[in-house]
Structure 1
């Protein structure tokens, strides 16, 4: 097995970690050619946990990853954009990012972020206080919906790039920065309350997504391109 990409995802890669945030390490790996030339169904993922569950490592085989790429799977799209890289085949990363752009489906991707935004909003608004971690999960998902509706390219993994690339009121952007600074000083158990203007922003993003999601375009990508890339990578690592 060869690692093609090992990177950070989650709050550290998104740009709003707490001091005690876990490390969410995600891997894309490839086997030798003979591993794929088998009639048996083999495990195409891995899961590892270390240091009292503070280091979470999961990985997907290349073939599984490309099948997910064809569906514009958001966790995969985030994985290949991570700003925190532990190990990478740089040629692979550049090529899969290009493929992701051609395979990108706005209508498929928005369903993921819309579902997450609605789920976390419901949980947040059902209690008087809440964890900032959950608040930012909801906020980032809602803003991602706005990005997908208004822009043709994939939403960036880094929340700063996402929110600064959209028309959001300056006072809201400033408050988001203040809360990110606060989160950086507080443990995951810290409880927060209020922030009505940001909740209103989230609801407006969700409403926009609900209105526009069925009219968004699907992917124009080609399975042939994914097959060709898969074969090229298998041959590259079988030498």
Structure 2
């Protein structure tokens, strides 16, 4: 609770110093995914909005913020709403994840509900799978280049591979919470049980802990990657349009300029 209070205070300070309104401040990374280590940092992502006049300019202004607090234990970064909606149109996976985060520090509930609805129409399976497939391949290569590895990287690879499987098999966005992803996929019970054991192990170990083995789970990841490679080009694109994003952007600017 003490850390949550500190985070709230930092968010208020950011709003005042930068003359913005935070529409969403949430946890991402391992805490939001559901497999933190004992010493995991706080990775907080925000979506914010400026007063209307800020957008009335011929020049493109800085549309992101980046802060570190508490000896780098609290990482707060964020995107302006216009940048966020442009990324939503591209089905940017980090944005899709943050609007689903289960750990919320500050939020306009109406905004969150509306952007979640927009995300369903803008969602592109073919765009989204490229991100997770690239991540899965990158971390698998790193893991298999050494005998022992950090569980953090192992879970990055595993979650990315499971997201690929989800995108290939389902029409809706992959959930940010890893356990929800596992529950929604047809997986062998013994593999799921082993994943749960590793989540419990990671929770009591530091980020520096080194692990070995897990051949069945590596085989699972490779099968997901191979299937994604074979089917990614045939996946559908988005049915959304810029018109609805423009309308939502104007609504939000007027709402917060009153």
TM-score scaled to structure 2, two decimals? 0.92
Is 1:171 the equivalent of 2:190?
Answer: yes
CA displacement, residues 138-190 of structure 1 (integer Å, 9 cap, x when unaligned):
00000000000000000000000001100010000000000000000000000
Equivalence map 1:14-93=2 (5 Å) = 14-93=33-112
CA displacement, residues 2-39 of structure 1 (integer Å, 9 cap, x when unaligned):
00000000000000000100100000000010000011
Counterpart-to-counterpart distance in 2, 1:229 and 1:41: 20
Displacement of 1:51 after TM fit? 1.5
Displacement of 1:50 after TM fit? 1.1
Partner of 2:232: 213
Say how many residue pairs are matched: 239
Counterpart-to-counterpart distance in 2, 1:51 and 1:232: 36
Partner of 1:138: 157
Counterpart-to-counterpart distance in 1, 2:40 and 2:153: 13
Displacement of 1:53 after TM fit? 1.2
Partner-residue secondary structure (3-state), 1:83: coil
Counterpart-to-counterpart distance in 1, 2:218 and 2:70: 35
Partner of 1:8: 27
TM-score scaled to structure 1, two decimals? 1.00
Match of 1:104 among 123, 144, 158: 123
Counterpart-to-counterpart distance in 1, 2:32 and 2:248: 27
Partner-residue secondary structure (3-state), 2:204: coil
Counterpart-to-counterpart distance in 2, 1:119 and 1:40: 37
Counterpart-to-counterpart distance in 2, 1:13 and 1:119: 22
Displacement of 1:222 after TM fit? 1.1
Q: CA RMSD in A?
A: 0.4
Is 1:120 the equivalent of 2:139?
Answer: yes
Displacement of 1:84 after TM fit? 0.1
